[in-house]
Amino acid sequence: MFHYPFNPAELSETARIWWDLFGFYLTVAIILGVVVYAGLVLIPWIYSRRRQAVDEIQPGVIPGERGRMAYLAVIVILIAASFIAIFVESYLAVNKLAATLEEKYNVDIEELQAGEADGVLVVEVIGFQWGWTFRYPNGVETDILYLPAGRPVIFKVTSEDVFHAFSIPDLRVKVDAIPGQVNVTWTVPEKPGTYRVQCYELCGVGHAEMITKAIVLPPEVFDFWYESQSEKLESEGGEQ
């Protein structure tokens, strides 16, 4: 039922920008990790092969300079370069995201982040022990998340009881659901299909069951669903 691709490139262009940025962070982390672990293994090995101690350790006497400042400089430069590269790459990714949102979807990234953008669907997400409620602007509440393909969606996420975390991994959505607080996030699902919605914060014995579906529909099918739900709600309201 759920597909779980390693690379979400085909599912959402905005998710792919995050994914590429994550790949960059991971690459930098792997390079630094290799250097650090190589040092941990090699330095004791090299020094253990030397017969002579580097300098005599005497109580109360600070050891002298060991003449290896060049290595230290290389390490410091490598770390500084990594931080600069991460900063630059993140800045470029956010710019790319803003440009994509503006050109392709006609929306401003800051408006999305603020939780109000013209013509953008806003879904309230309420986590509880143990499930999710999705509330649409027309007042309809569902336990399955329906979304229109190719349109940005804003999620306003909160909780009724304890801390939860709302996530749609395929679409690179993850945000804490905190009682008494509304956290805002957004995504643009591009491909119709069924995606996994899951809680990512251990919240009690039913945590692992806090799974539901996000069904991304072609926009006209979504509009039909939305209208029919509105009518249903109205007729139910009329009967009471």
Residues near Cu ion, by CB under 5 A:
164, 199, 203, 207, 210
Nearest to Cu ion of 44, 206 (CB atom): 206
Nearest to Cu ion of 59, 180 (CB atom): 180
How many Cα neighbours within 13 Å face the side chain of 30?
A: 6
Nearest to Cu ion of 139, 206 (CB atom): 206
Asked whether 120 and 151 are in contact (CB, 8 A), the reply is: yes
Two structure tokens written together for 121: 């669907």
Angle at 97 between CA 92 and CA 103, to 5 degrees: 120
Asked whether 137 and 156 are in contact (CB, 8 A), the reply is: no
Residue 202 to residue 236: CA distance in whole angstroms: 37
Element (H, E) at 195: strand 193-199
Nearest to Cu ion of 188, 203 (CB atom): 203
**Closest distance to Cu ion from the beta carbon of 157 (Å):** 12
Residue 237 to residue 7: CA distance in whole angstroms: 44
**Closest distance to Cu ion from the beta carbon of 199 (Å):** 3
Nearest to Cu ion of 125, 203 (CB atom): 203
**Closest distance to Cu ion from the beta carbon of 113 (Å):** 24
**Closest distance to Cu ion from the beta carbon of 165 (Å):** 7
**Closest distance to Cu ion from the beta carbon of 206 (Å):** 8
